Amino acid sequence: MKRLQKLGAYLFLLLIGYVFLFPLLFMIMSSFKPEQVIFADLYSIRAILPVGDLTLDNYRQVFEKSDVLLYFRNSILITSATVILGLFVNSLLAFTLSRMRWSGRKYILAAVVALMIIPIEAIVVPLLLLVSKLPTIGWEQGGLVLMGSWLNSLEVQILPFVANSFFIFLFYQFFRDIPKDFDEAAELDGATPFQIYRHIIVPMSGPVFATVAILHFLLMWNQYIWPIMAVQGEDARPVMPGIQIFFGRQTSWGEIMAYASFVTLPVLAVFLAFQKKFVSSLAGAGIKG
């Protein structure tokens, strides 16, 4: 009886798992199949299996028809710059909020918590006007020049997303729970607050740095609405808006799937590499938040 129950549980899990995995597997497998085969396989289990005449034609077409490698490079630059800067900036503020005493601290903390509820969509329109009026320094013909606006650049996709109230809050929660004895001892030895941050808090906070890095990575890699608005030209375009080249014109589904698979690859790689840490830390973050 017990064994039968277990078997039933597994069968049910497999069924639900199929529902959750199908679109992703279908996308990846279809990217290697010619158009007719995608349709022929669609209604059977073959849709999610790497069977039949597999080809790289779709990928070849995608690389030919679009600057996907340029978009990919842009996304990598934008994402890594934002995540690295973000880890610094957000953890530093969280450190002063959680481990130092200063007047105004409570108000800043309340403001950070309040900002967590504002979704990016609510401010993109005025943000667009703001950045269109900000001057910036850029490289042109080998020299530094002052440029008219931030639009169509990589920095317009980086700087607005470095400071993030949710990540500050995650750091704050983690730092707050570290025992204060270490700081006290270090302080008696004459350590500055930055030294305490650098040599005591950061080494003890691996998990929260990993969580924030992964969440920030996902957020940045999947950016869509902001680059659509702020980046009209090709030069600074990231991967997600680039997909419209294939989707908008109703060209071949094989090529769409190839593009989609290609730009999903880094995310899946990071997710599978860090999944255990990722899943458990995210659950912890959610329940406390």
Partner 1 sequence: MNANTSVNSSDTLTVSSGRPAETRRPPRKRYVFLMSAPALLGLFMFMVLPFLMALGMSFTDQRLLSPNATEWVGLRNYDRLLNISWLVQEPVSDADNHLKRTAEGELVYPRLRSVLRKNPEYKEFKEFTHWSFGDKRVVLLAKDPSFIQSIINTLLFVILVVPIQCGTALGLALLINQKLRGIFLFRTVFFSPVVTSIVVVSIVWSFLYHKDLGLFNHYLNAMSFGLIGPVDWLGDPDWAMPSIVLMSAWQAAGVQMLIFLAGLQGISGDLYEAAELDGAGPWGKFVNVTLPGLKNTTIFVVISTTIQAFGLFTQVDVMTRGGPQGSTSTVMYHAVTKGFREQDIAYGSAISVIFFLAILAIALLQKRFFDKREDA
Closest distance to partner 1 from the beta carbon of 142 (Å): 30
Closest distance to partner 1 from the beta carbon of 278 (Å): 8
For partner 1, the closer of residues 69 and 273 by Cβ is: 273
Q: How many residues belong to the site for partner 1 (CB under 8 A)?
A: 96
**Burial annotation 266-278 (CB, 10 A radius, 16+ → b, else e):** beeebeeebeeeb
Judged on CB neighbours under 10 Å (0-12, 13-18, 19+), 44 is exposed
7 near partner 1, judged by CB under 8 A? no
For partner 1, the closer of residues 122 and 145 by Cβ is: 122
The single residue among 59, 79, 99, 245 that binds partner 1, judged by CB under 8 A, is 99
97 near partner 1, judged by CB under 8 A? yes
The single residue among 76, 77, 124, 210 that binds partner 1, judged by CB under 8 A, is 124
The single residue among 11, 123, 145, 273 that binds partner 1, judged by CB under 8 A, is 123
The single residue among 1, 3, 126, 177 that binds partner 1, judged by CB under 8 A, is 126
118 near partner 1, judged by CB under 8 A? yes
For partner 1, the closer of residues 31 and 139 by Cβ is: 31
Residues 45/49/52/56 CA torsion (nearest 10 deg) = 140
Site for partner 1 in 226-285 (CB under 8 A): 228-229, 240, 243, 247, 253, 256-257, 260, 263-264, 267-268, 271-272, 275-276, 279, 282-284
State the first-to-last Cα distance of the chain, in angstroms, to the nearest integer: 42
For partner 1, the closer of residues 236 and 243 by Cβ is: 243
Scanning 3-11, 64-72, 137-145, 203-211 for contacts with partner 1 by CB under 8 A, the matching segment is: 3-11
Closest distance to partner 1 from the beta carbon of 141 (Å): 26
Closest distance to partner 1 from the beta carbon of 64 (Å): 20
- The DSSP secondary structure of the chain, one letter per residue, reads -HHHHHHHHHHHHHHHHHHHHHHHHHHHHHTTS-HHHHHHHTTSGGGGS--SS--SHHHHHHHHHS-HHHHHHHHHHHHHHHHHHHHHHHHHHHHHHHH---TTHHHHHHHHHHHTT--GGGTHHHHHHHHHH--EEEEETTEEEEES-STTSSHHHHGGGTS-HHHHHHHHHHHHTS-THHHHHHHHTT--HHHHIIIIIHHH-HHHHHHHHHHHHHHHHT--HHHHHH--SSTT--HHHHTHHHHTTT--HHHHHHHHHHHHHHHHHHHHHHHHHHHHHHHHHHHH-
The single residue among 13, 54, 56, 84 that binds partner 1, judged by CB under 8 A, is 13
43 near partner 1, judged by CB under 8 A? yes
Scanning 62-70, 88-96, 139-147, 204-212 for contacts with partner 1 by CB under 8 A, the matching segment is: 88-96
Site for partner 1 in 168-227 (CB under 8 A): 168, 180, 183-184, 187, 192-194, 196-197, 218, 221-222, 224-225
